[in-house]
Structures are given as C-alpha cells and as structure tokens.
A and B are shown apart, each in its own frame.
Chain A
Amino acid sequence: DAMVIQNPRYQVTQFGKPVTLSCSQTLNHNVMYWYQQKSSQAPKLLFHYYDKDFNNEADTPDNFQSRRPNTSFCFLDIRSPGLGDAAMYLCATSRGGAGSPLHFGNGTRLTVT
C-alpha cells in the first residue's frame, strides 16, 4: 500500500541535544509538509517542500530545519530542542494541485527531558 511512514513513532531527547525525525513516502507526491501539533491545538505548519523548493513559514523558529534529499524522503532537524518543542510532529504529502488532500503519516511523538 502506498503510504507515508514516519520514524521513529516515539522519540525522547535531552534538552539541547539535536534530534532528527524522518519521513518517507511511496505516493510519489510532489509536496511534503512538516506539521507540529501540541495537545488540543490545531496542527501548525512548520515548512513544506514543493519538489526541491523549500518554503519556510514566517513564524517557524530557526531551531527547526528540514532536508529533502530526494522525492521519497524528508527530514526534520531540531538543532537544540527546548521543553516547548515537545509535541507530535506530523509529516504529510500531497500532489500539490488545488484542493489536493494531504496524506499524513502516523506522527512522531517527541519528548524533551
């Protein structure tokens, strides 16, 4: 089945210790997104790639970076995690056309100790 896969499902890191979350897709979609979702809040877009074009949201902290080495993979790097970065991180893909639905992975739950 074509899908969006996120690894790991659960990640624990120490305050200030860099961490990388990964996402892969078999849908061959042009667009890949990273969302952050905190408890009882709306998913918040951090950035997205349209093919290799990177688009950063204006309010995404510099602490968050992303890489997309090829169509299938996308990484979220948190350079110096703070306690406030503990959240669910959702990767999603879409074809990118008007109204195209996003296909989400199951997320990575990040805990910062």
Chain B
Amino acid sequence: DQQVKQNSPSLSVQEGRISILNCDYTNSMFDYFLWYKKYPAEGPTFLISISSIKDKNEDGRFTVFLNKSAKHLSLHIVPSQPGDSAVYFCAASAERRGSTLGRLYFGRGTQLTVWP
C-alpha cells in the first residue's frame, strides 16, 4: 500500500522555466517531508525538507510547498537547469512515540528532464 504517491513518472521542462514536481500522501501522521534527487548510477541525495508545521521552505532555486489539508506537497525549481535532470523522490516520515527515528516512506519518483 503506497502511502506516498508520485503520480507523474516523468516531466519535461525547458531550461529557464519552472519545474513543478508533485507528491501526495495518505497518512495524516506524517510530520516531515523530504525531497531527494538521484542521478543514474548514484544513490539519492538529500535536496530539501519541510516540517508539517510549515507550509513553505525555500533553499535557493528550490522551494517546497506543503498543503496539509489536501495531503499534497510540491517541489518547485526555478529556474530549471539541464543539470537538474534526474529522478526526484518524495519521502515522508512519522515520528513514532518514544523514538528518535524517522522511518522514511518513499514515492516511486519522477524523472525530470530539462532541455536547452
């Protein structure tokens, strides 16, 4: 049962324009959301995160928006660059009571292609 869903397997965007990657989740207990980027033959690398107490977090060209009522988050990349071409994974965690460990649930990923 997929608790984190990325319904678009791929996205193609022209260089300089905005890329918007979407993610939906079903578990209302999730309290942290993270985005990872993965290049071929490499492991995923952490990109940006957001706590459920916020609705926006920005880091340079990357902004994550969280809409808790809709159980939806999105990653905006502005402006998009060819080097951003990669698979982007959305992930979520729910802190268990008495535990400091956040088990991550991943989506299936979205392949972003930024063309010149």
CB nearest neighbor in B for A104: B43
- By the criterion of a CB under 8 Å from any partner CB, how many residues of chain B are at the interface? 28
Which B residues are in CB contact (< 8 Å) with A4?
A: 43
Which B residues are in CB contact (< 8 Å) with A44?
A: 106
Would you call A106 and B51 a contact (CB within 8 A)? no
Which B residues are in CB contact (< 8 Å) with A48?
A: 101, 103
Is residue A16 contacting chain B, with contact meaning CB distance below 8 A?
no
CB 8 Å contact bits of A30-58 with B (1 = contact, 0 = none): 01000000001111110010100001000
Is residue A19 contacting chain B, with contact meaning CB distance below 8 A?
no
CB nearest neighbor in A for B3: A42
Q: How far is the CA of A48 from the CA of B103 in the complex (A)?
A: 9
CB nearest neighbor in B for A37: B106
Would you call B100 and A42 a contact (CB within 8 A)? no
Which B residues are in CB contact (< 8 Å) with A103?
A: 46
Query: Would you list which residues of chain A between 82 and 113 have a CB under 8 Å from chain B?
Result: 90, 92, 94, 96-107
CB 8 Å contact bits of B46-82 with A (1 = contact, 0 = none): 1001010000000000000000000000000000000
Which A residues are in CB contact (< 8 Å) with B106?
A: 42-44
Q: How far is the CA of A74 from the CA of B80 in the complex (A)?
A: 37
Which B residues are in CB contact (< 8 Å) with A43?
A: 44, 89, 106
Q: What are 18 A-B residue pairs whose CB atoms fall within 8 Å in the complex?
A: A6-B43, A40-B9, A43-B106, A48-B101, A50-B100, A90-B43, A92-B43, A94-B102, A96-B100, A98-B32, A99-B51, A99-B93, A99-B102, A102-B46, A104-B36, A104-B43, A104-B45, A106-B43
